[in-house]
Amino acid sequence: MEEKRFGRVRVIPGGGDSRFPACTALLVEDDIRTIIDPGCRKEKISEILGQGPVDRVINTHYHFDHIKNNYLFADSEIWLNYRESPCFKDVFNIARLGGIIEVYGEEKGRQWVEGLKECAITNARPTPFKDIRWLLSSGRLDGTYKWGDEIDFGHTRAKVLPAPGHSMGCSYFFFPEERIVYTADSDFTEFGPFYGGSDSDIDACVQSLVSLVDLEADYFITSHEAGILTLEELLDALPGYLDKVDERDVIVTERLRKGMSVDEIAREGVCYPKRALKDPFVFMWEKVHVKKHARRLVSTGAVQLEMESMSQILKDSEPLPLEQYGFDLSVESTGEKPAETTPLDFM
C-alpha cells in the first residue's frame, strides 16, 4: 500500500504491508499536527518529525503495534482512550488486560514486567514478547478521550466511535468531512477478528464490525494488510471475516464433544497454527480465544455436555475479573484529563 491523502489526513503505511507488529498510521497535518497509532517505520517517523513538530499522538488502543513508537515523540502529548488509560499509568495493567495474568498468573505477569527492563528493541517474530518498547511507549499519559468525543485538529475534525470487543476501549476515528474511517484492528485480514485479550469480547467485536456499515463513509482505512477499502469492498469482505468466528465455534464444538479440555483444545490450535504456539504470546492469545468460545458455547447451551463436564469447562474458561483491578467495564466514563503521571523509571 502506498501513502494516500484525504484532505489534511495522510495515510502512512507500516512496513511489510503493515503486517503485525507494524501498523498503518494516520497523520493529520493541521493546526494541531497529530499522528494516530504511530506503528509505521521508524524512518518514516523521523521524516515526519523532520517536516515539523507533532503536537499530539493518539492511540486507538493499548496494543503493542499501535503504541510501539510513542517513545519517539518526546515533545508530543500522548493520548489514549479513557477506559484503557490505566495501561499508561502502570504497565502491569497491560499484563492484566492483554491476557498474561489470565493465562500465566500474577507472578509470571510481574516477571514479564521486570524482564522488560532488561530487553532491547527487537524485530522478533512472530510477537514482540520481549521488547522494551512496551515500557518506553507506555510510560507517559497526557490526555484521554472517550467514545462520542469530537476531536478538533484545527480545520479537521474526527468523531470517536466505540469499537469494543477487540479491546475494551478500542475506538474508530470517523472524519465526516473527508468521509473516511480509521478502523484500527477491524482489519479484514485472513486471520479474522482478534478477541484474544482478557478485555476482549466476541459479541462486542462482531457488533463493532457490523456498525461500520452504517457510517456515512466512502473509505475505510485498516491498520493491517487490507489497506484502504471502499464501502463496496468492505461489504464484500465483512461476511467472510465474520465467518471466521463461526469456523472457530465449529472447531471448538467438535473438540468439546470429544471430551477435550480448554487447555487441550488450545494446544491443538484453533486460531493459530500449532507450530506458532511455542511463542508465549501466541499461545496466550490462542488460549484466551478458546476460553471465550468454549464459555459462550456451553453457557448458552449451544453445546450440550454432561453436568460434570459442563461445570469443568465453565470453571476452566472463567474470565479474569478485571473489575477487581479497578477497570470500569459497565459505564462510559467522563474522559476527564487524568492527574499528572510520572514516566516509569526503568533505566
| Residues 147, 124 within the same domain | yes
User: Which H helix or E strand runs over 133?
Assistant: helix 133-136
Which residues constitute the domain of residue 271? 248-325
Q: Domain for residue 203, yes or no?
A: yes
Q: Are residues 149 and 67 in the same domain?
A: yes
Identify whether residues 262 and 126 lie together within a single domain.
Answer: no
The confidence score (pLDDT) of residue 347 equals: 27
Same domain flag for 275 and 226: no
Angle at 69 between CA 133 and CA 177, to 5 degrees: 145
77, 178: one domain = yes
Give the pLDDT of residue 188. 95
- Among residues 100, 104, 103, 81, the alpha carbon closest in space to that of 92 is found at 100
Predicted local distance difference test score (pLDDT) of residue 330 = 65
Q: Buried b / exposed e across 92-118, counting CB within 10 Å, b at 16+?
A: bbbbbbbbbbbbbeeeebeebbeebee
Is the same domain home to 52 and 102?
A: yes
pLDDT the model gives residue 337: 38
The pLDDT assigned to 162 comes to 97
Clarify whether residues 34 and 162 are in a common domain: yes
User: Are 184 and 312 within one domain?
Assistant: no
Total domains, the chain: 2
Select from 234, 258, 274 the last residue of a domain: 234
The pLDDT of residue 103: 98
User: At which of 212, 234, 256 does a domain end?
Assistant: 234
CA gap 299, 311 in Å, rounded:
10
| CATH number, residue 63 | 3.60.15.10
Shared domain for 113 and 179, answered yes or no, is yes
Phi–psi pair at 251, nearest 5 degrees: -65, -45
Residues 194 and 217 in one domain: yes
Cell of 197: 485479550
Are 229 and 259 in a shared domain? no
The predicted pLDDT at position 168 comes to 96
The answer as to whether 339 is a domain residue is: no
**Each residue's pLDDT tens digit in the chain (347 positions)?**
778 999 999 999 998 888 898 999 999 999 999 999 999 999 999 999 999 999 999 999 999 999 999 999 999 999 999 999 999 999 999 999 999 999 999 999 999 999 999 999 987 678 899 999 999 999 999 999 999 999 999 999 999 999 999 999 999 999 999 999 999 999 999 999 999 999 999 999 999 999 999 999 999 999 998 899 999 999 999 999 999 999 999 999 999 999 999 999 999 999 999 999 999 999 999 999 999 999 999 999 999 999 999 999 999 999 999 988 888 776 554 343 333 333 333 22
Q: 332 lies in a domain?
A: no
Q: pTM higher than 0.75, yes or no?
A: yes
Among 234, 265, 291, the domain boundary falls at 234
112 with 216, same domain? yes
